[in-house]
Chains A and B, each alone.
Chain A
Amino acid sequence: MTDLLLTNVRLLDPASGLDQTGDLLVRDGKIADLGAGLGRPDGAETVDGGGAVLCPGLVDMRVEVGEPGGEWRETVASAAVAAAAGGITAVAALPDSRPAIDDPALVRLLRARGEETGSLTVLPYGALTRGCRGEEMAELGLLREAGAVAFTDGARAIGSARLMRLALTYARGFGAKIVQHPEEPTLAEGGAATEGELATRLGLPGIPAEAEAILIGRDIRLARLTGGAVHFAHVSTAAALGLIRMAKDEGLAVTCDTAPPYFDLNETAIGDWRTFAKLSPPLRADADRQAVAAALLDGTIDAVASDHQPRDVDDKRLPFAQAATGGAGLATLLGVTLAQVHGASLPLIRAIELLTVAPARLLGVAAGTLAKGAPADLCLFDPDRIWQVHAGSLPGRAQNTPFDGRALEGKVLGTWKAGRRVFGG
Chain B
Amino acid sequence: MAPPLRHLLAIEGMYPPQIAALLDLAESFVLLNRTGKTPRDRLRGHTLINLFFEDSTRTRTSFELAGKRLGADVINMSVATSSVNKGETLLDTASTLNAMNCDLLVIRHGASGAPALLARKVDAAVINAGDGTHEHPTQALLDALTIRRRLGRLEGLTVAICGDVLHSRVARSNIHLLSAMGSRVRLVGPPTLVPPEAARLGADVFHDMAAGLAGVDVVMMLRLQQERMARSLVPSAREYFRFWGLDEAKLKYAAPHALVMHPGPMNRGVEIASSVADDPVRSVIREQVEMGVAVRMAVLDTLSQSGANG
List the interface of chain A (C-beta within 8 A of B): 135-142, 145, 163, 166, 169-170, 172-173, 226-227
Chain A residue numbers with a CB within 8 Å of B242 are: 141-142, 145
A227, B235: Cβ atoms closer than 8 Å = no
A139, B232: Cβ atoms closer than 8 Å = no
A226 CA to B190 CA, complexed, in Å = 13
Chain A residue numbers with a CB within 8 Å of B239 are: 139-142
B235, A173: Cβ atoms closer than 8 Å = no
A169 CA to B235 CA, complexed, in Å = 13
CB contacts between A and B, total, < 8 Å: 40
B191 within 8 A of A: yes
A166, B232: Cβ atoms closer than 8 Å = yes
B238, A173: Cβ atoms closer than 8 Å = no
Chain B residue numbers with a CB within 8 Å of A170 are: 190-192, 233-235
Chain A residue numbers with a CB within 8 Å of B238 are: 139, 142
B190, A138: Cβ atoms closer than 8 Å = no
A227 CA to B191 CA, complexed, in Å = 10
A139, B192: Cβ atoms closer than 8 Å = no
Please judge, given known A-B contacts A139-B239, A141-B242, A142-B242, whether A173 and B191 are in contact too, CB under 8 Å. yes
B271 smallest CB distance to A (angstroms): 15
B235, A137: Cβ atoms closer than 8 Å = yes
- Shortest Cβ-Cβ A-B pairs, 3 listed: A173-B207, A137-B232, A139-B239
> Closest chain A residue to B240 by CB distance?
A141
B309 within 8 A of A: no
A47 CA to B283 CA, complexed, in Å = 68
B210 smallest CB distance to A (angstroms): 13
Q: Total interface residues on B, using CB and 8 Å?
A: 15
Interface residues of B in 219-248 (CB under 8 A from A): 232-236, 238-239, 242-243
B196 within 8 A of A: yes
A26 CA to B243 CA, complexed, in Å = 41
Specify the main secondary structure of chain B where it touches its partner: loop
List the interface of chain B (C-beta within 8 A of A): 190-192, 196, 207-208, 232-236, 238-239, 242-243
Residue contacts A-B, CB under 8 angstroms, 9 given = A139-B239, A140-B235, A141-B239, A142-B238, A142-B239, A142-B242, A163-B232, A170-B191, A172-B191
A163 CA to B233 CA, complexed, in Å = 9
Chain A residue numbers with a CB within 8 Å of B232 are: 135-137, 163, 166
A201 CA to B191 CA, complexed, in Å = 50
A45 smallest CB distance to B (angstroms): 47
> Closest chain A residue to B208 by CB distance?
A173
B191, A139: Cβ atoms closer than 8 Å = no
A249 smallest CB distance to B (angstroms): 23
Chain B residue numbers with a CB within 8 Å of A137 are: 232, 235
Chain A residue numbers with a CB within 8 Å of B243 are: 141
Please judge, given known A-B contacts A141-B242, A141-B243, A142-B242, whether A169 and B192 are in contact too, CB under 8 Å. yes
B236, A169: Cβ atoms closer than 8 Å = no
Please judge, given known A-B contacts A141-B239, A142-B239, whether A166 and B192 are in contact too, CB under 8 Å. yes
A235 smallest CB distance to B (angstroms): 27
B235, A138: Cβ atoms closer than 8 Å = yes
A201 CA to B207 CA, complexed, in Å = 55
Chain B residue numbers with a CB within 8 Å of A163 are: 232
A170 CA to B238 CA, complexed, in Å = 16
A136 CA to B196 CA, complexed, in Å = 23
B238 smallest CB distance to A (angstroms): 7
A163 CA to B192 CA, complexed, in Å = 11
Chain B residue numbers with a CB within 8 Å of A141 are: 235, 239, 242-243
Chain A residue numbers with a CB within 8 Å of B234 are: 170
